[in-house]
């Protein structure tokens, strides 16, 4: 089933911040991060209910090599990406 992917503004900002952070270290790391991010997004599109609901109906799909999780909700017609958060940091 094909679902529309919707990125909230917060998720887009998270991805921009991640890109800036890894570009300062080494641009090739940025490429590896986004390769893994898009592979995980494809996995979410194919099997969105695989990951358990963690809070308020939101599921979290972890990236394998990078310490980030994709926070999303799925419905019959779309998948909404709410945040892409570092799993080891605390945000206020």
Render pLDDT for 37-60 as a digit per residue (tens, 0 to 9). 999 999 999 888 989 899 999 999
What is the number of other CB atoms lying within 10 angstroms of the CB of residue 77? Answer: 9
Distance CA 69, CA 81 (A): 11
- The predicted structure's pLDDT at residue 88: 81
Any idea which residue has 């992917």 for tokens? Answer: 5
Distance CA 60, CA 22 (A): 22
What is the number of other CB atoms lying within 10 angstroms of the CB of residue 22? Answer: 18
Predicted TM-score of the model (pTM): 0.90
H-assigned helices in the chain: 9-25, 27-46
């Amino acid at each position: 089933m094909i679902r529309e992917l919707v990125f909230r503004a917060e998720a887009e900002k998270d991805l921009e911040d991640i890109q800036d952070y890894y570009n300062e270290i080494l641009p090739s790391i940025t490429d590896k991060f986004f390769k893994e991010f898009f592979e995980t997004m494809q996995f979410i599109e194919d099997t969105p209910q695989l990951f358990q609901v963690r809070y308020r109906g939101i599921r979290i799909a972890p990236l394998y090599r990078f310490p980030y999780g994709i926070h999303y909700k799925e419905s019959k017609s779309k998948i909404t990406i709410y945040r892409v958060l570092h799993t080891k940091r605390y945000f206020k």
